[in-house]
């Protein structure tokens, strides 16, 4: 668990990290260098969940050595599926990462939503859905590994 009191934002007690894969953790279907090591460190105190439409079909293979639960979404309305997943975990205990339109609803319901630009860019709606915008997934994961950075960003 990650606990941090952020003035004006409130007490945060995170148990789950929920993230998109394509364009968020990866670039052209391959994990961004440095992501694996950071996720392994974060798995010491957060349960990691990867929800993906898996555009490149590589997510499961790329994530195989990372302690996480990976779900390849099926059917339609992936935005609703991601939102429902976060709500079932208990949205107040979730930090969510995403870059695409199908991530916007999960960022809105999560206690902390982090919009990731990365090499594949991010949808404009994601910028409005998140509490924080980062230029790379590494910067976003580092906010959790160094929570005073997150506190500095979100405090009023």
pLDDT score, position 29:
93
Other Cβ atoms closer than 10 A to 49? 19
| Sign of the torsion formed by the C-alpha atoms of 77, 22, 116 and 3 | positive
pLDDT score, position 39:
98
Is 28 a residue whose pLDDT tops 90?
yes
Q: Where on the phi/psi map is residue 30: left (φ > 0), alpha (ψ -120 to 50), or beta?
A: beta
CATH annotation of 2-154: 3.40.50.1000
Q: What percent of the chain has pLDDT over 90?
A: 94
Give the tens place of pLDDT for each residue, 120-155: 889 999 999 999 999 999 999 999 999 999 999 999
Is 119 a residue whose pLDDT tops 90?
no
- On the 0-12 / 13-18 / 19+ scale of CB atoms within 10 A, 15 is middle
Domains of the chain by residue range: 2-154
Which residues fall within 8 angstroms of residue 65, CB to CB, at 6 or more apart?
Answer: 36
Give the tens place of pLDDT for each residue, 57-82: 999 999 999 999 999 999 899 999 99
Q: What percent of the chain has pLDDT over 70?
A: 100
pLDDT score, position 115:
97
pLDDT score, position 82:
97
Q: Per-residue pLDDT averaged across 90-108, rounded?
A: 97
């Amino acid at each position: 668990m990650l606990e941090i009191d952020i003035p004006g934002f409130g007490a945060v007690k995170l148990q789950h990290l929920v993230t998109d894969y394509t364009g968020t953790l990866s670039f052209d279907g391959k994990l961004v260098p440095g992501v694996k090591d950071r996720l392994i460190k974060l798995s010491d105190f957060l349960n990691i969940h990867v929800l993906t439409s898996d555009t490149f079909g590589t997510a499961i293979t790329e994530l195989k050595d990372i302690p996480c639960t990976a779900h390849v979404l099926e059917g339609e309305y992936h935005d609703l599926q991601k939102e429902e997943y976060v709500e079932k975990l208990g949205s107040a205990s979730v930090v969510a990462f995403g870059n695409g339109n199908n991530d916007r609803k999960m960022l809105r319901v999560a206690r902390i939503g982090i919009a990731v630009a990365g090499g594949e860019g991010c949808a404009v709606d994601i910028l409005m859905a998140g509490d924080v915008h980062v230029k790379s997934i590494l910067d976003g994961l580092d906010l959790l590994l160094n929570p005073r950075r997150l506190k500095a960003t979100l405090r009023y």
